[in-house]
Amino acid sequence: MIQAVKTYIYSAVFRYSIMDTINVTQARSDLFRIMDSVLDGKRITITSKKGNAILLSEEEWDGIIETLYVLSDPDTLPAVMEARAAPASEPERIDWRNMF
2 has a pLDDT exceeding 60: no
Per the prediction, the chain carries an average pLDDT of 81
Q: Are 66 and 59 in contact (CB under 8 A)?
A: no
Phi-psi region of 42 (alpha: psi -120 to 50; beta: other; left: phi over 0): beta
More confident call, 4 vs 39: 39
Q: Please, what is the end-to-end C-alpha distance for the chain in angstroms?
A: 47
How far is it, in rounded angstroms, from Cα 78 to Cα 85? 11
Whether the model clears a pTM of 0.75, i.e. scores above it, the answer is no
43 has a pLDDT exceeding 50: yes
How far is it, in rounded angstroms, from Cα 57 to Cα 37? 9
Q: Which domains does the chain have, with CATH numbers?
A: 16-77 (3.40.1620.10)
SS3 at position 9? helix
More confident call, 63 vs 96: 63
* Mean pLDDT across 72-90: 81
How far is it, in rounded angstroms, from Cα 70 to Cα 54? 23
